[in-house]
C-alpha cells in the first residue's frame, strides 16, 4: 500500500461517509451538479505543499491525531494537502437550513479530526468556512465551503512486511511514558488473557 494523495482522498471519503451516513451524499472530485433533496458533500483538492524542514511553523501547530506511528526519517516525505469540502443543501425554512448546515459542518470537521480508528493523516487543521445562501420559490438553498490542511507522510508500506513490536511503553495519556519492555527480532511474546 502507498500513502499518497489517492489513498488519502479515498480514506477521507470513507471517513465522511461513515460520519454523514443518511445526512449527505459524499462525492469525490465530481463536477458541481444541481442541488437535489439530499445534501451533497464534494471533496476537492486545491494544492499540496512539500514540507522541507521541521522548523516550518505550519507543521508544528494544531492537534496531532495520527494513530499510525511512522518514523519521520525523510523530511521531503512530509506533505500538507489543501482540501476543500463543498456542501450543498436545501430546506423548506431558513432555520431548517441553518440546523442542517451546522450539523454537516460539525460532522465534517469532527470526522476528520477526532477518529477512534487509525487514519492515514497525522493531523487536520481547519482553515475557514464560507457560506452562500439562495432563496427561490420558498425553497432555501446554501453552499458551504470548508477549507482544511491535512498533514501526512508519503510512505511506501510493504504489505508482506511484518509489523513487529520492538518496544512497549506504559503511562497515562498526556504524561511521560516509561519503557517497560524491549524485544529482539524473532522473539515471540505471549500476552496473558485478562
Residue that is written with C-alpha cell 480514506 in the block? 11
Q: Residues 18, 111: contact at Cβ < 8 Å? A: yes
Please enumerate in sequence order all residues whose Cβ is within 8 A of that of 34, keeping only pairs 6 or more positions apart, or say none: none
Question: pLDDT at residue 171 above 80?
Answer: no
Closest CA to 81 of 28, 24, 39, 121: 121
Closest CA to 72 of 169, 142, 133, 153: 153
Cα 148 to chain center, whole Å?
Answer: 9
Per-residue pLDDT at 144: 95
pLDDT, tens digit, 9 for 90 and up, residues 107-155: 999 888 866 666 778 888 999 999 999 988 888 999 999 999 988 887 6
First-to-last alpha carbon distance for the chain, in angstroms, is 34
Q: How far apart are CA 11 and CA 54, in angstroms?
A: 26
Instruction: Look up the CATH number of domain 2-161.
Output: 3.30.2000.10
Q: E strand or H helix at 17, and its extent?
A: helix 5-20
Average pLDDT, the chain: 76
pLDDT higher at 160 or 25: 25
User: Which residues does residue 63 pair with via DSSP β-bridges, in sequence order?
Assistant: none
Residue that is written with C-alpha cell 465522511 in the block? 16
Cα 65 to chain center, whole Å?
Answer: 9
Per-residue pLDDT at 62: 36
Amino acid at each position: 500500500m502507498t500513502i499518497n494523495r489517492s489513498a488519502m482522498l479515498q480514506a477521507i471519503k470513507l471517513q465522511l461517509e461513515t460520519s454523514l451516513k443518511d445526512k449527505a451524499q459524499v462525492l469525490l472530485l465530481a463536477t458541481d451538479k444541481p442541488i437535489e433533496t439530499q445534501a451533497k458533500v464534494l471533496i476537492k483538492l486545491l494544492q499540496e505543499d512539500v514540507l522541507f524542514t521541521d522548523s516550518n511553523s505550519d507543521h508544528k501547530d494544531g492537534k496531532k491525531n495520527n494513530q499510525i506511528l511512522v518514523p519521520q526519517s525523510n523530511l521531503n516525505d512530509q506533505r500538507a494537502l489543501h482540501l476543500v469540502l463543498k456542501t450543498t443543501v436545501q430546506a423548506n425554512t431558513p432555520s431548517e437550513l441553518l440546523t442542517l448546515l451546522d450539523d454537516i459542518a460539525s460532522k465534517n470537521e469532527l470526522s476528520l479530526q477526532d477518529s477512534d480508528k487509525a487514519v492515514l493523516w497525522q493531523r487536520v487543521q481547519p482553515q475557514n468556512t464560507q457560506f452562500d445562501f439562495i432563496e427561490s420559490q420558498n425553497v432555501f438553498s446554501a453552499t458551504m465551503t470548508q477549507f482544511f490542511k491535512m498533514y501526512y507522510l508519503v510512505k511506501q508500506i510493504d504489505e508482506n512486511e511484518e509489523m513487529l513490536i520492538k518496544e512497549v511503553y506504559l503511562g497515562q495519556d498526556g504524561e511521560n511514558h516509561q519503557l517497560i519492555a524491549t524485544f529482539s527480532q524473532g522473539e515471540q511474546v505471549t500476552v496473558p488473557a485478562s
